[in-house]
Amino acid sequence: MRTYAPVAEPAEPGGREASLSRWLETLARELQDQGGADFVHAERMMEAIGLTKRELASRLGVDPRTLGRFRERGRLNPMASDRLYRLARLFEAAIELHQDEAQAARWLKTPNQALGGVCPMDMIATEPDFEQVMNLLGALKEGVFV
């Protein structure tokens, strides 16, 4: 099974976007079937967005030592898995908007006035915050000035 890894060349018809979509489907299936995601997904997201272990732990709502325990076990707990899934969905939507992974990652890490000066990726802890960022991405994609 092939999962998403940021690469320059498209591997199949549909390219990188299709690969990212398949990766999100795999992540969602693991959350539903196993109650948590394999740690490899966290490592791939950390690499794709350019996060340190401390930054990723913070976004997932855990201590960096807990993230280390997740690595040893090979699996995230349900809460961290859910936040990782939200972050991955934001990344996918940001890539769709910017048409570039590096620009999408930069956008996720930059404070945004439309979000009250908060970085988009810092708004994955709750569903209402997550939806606010997704709505902003949708508005930007439609060309609405916010």
User: What are the residue ranges spanned by the domains of the chain?
Assistant: 15-141
Give the pTM.
0.82
- With a cut of 50, which residues of the chain have pLDDT below it? 1-14
pLDDT at residue 17, rounded to an integer:
58
For residue 127, the model assigns a pLDDT of 94
How high is the pLDDT of residue 25?
A: 85
DSSP state of 5: -
Q: What is the pLDDT of residue 79?
A: 94
Euclidean distance between CA atoms 125 and 31, whole angstroms: 16
- Can you give the length of the chain in residues? 146
Residue 102 and residue 61 in contact, taking contact as beta carbons nearer than 8 Å:
no
First to last CA, the chain: 40
Give the span between the Cα atoms of 119 and 133, in whole angstroms. Answer: 10
Q: Please report the pLDDT score of residue 23 as a whole number.
A: 82
- How big is the chain by its Cα radius of gyration, in Å? 15
Nearest one of 109, 107, 114 to 129, comparing CA atoms: 114
- Among 29, 32, 39, CA closest to 60: 39
Predicted pLDDT at 35: 82
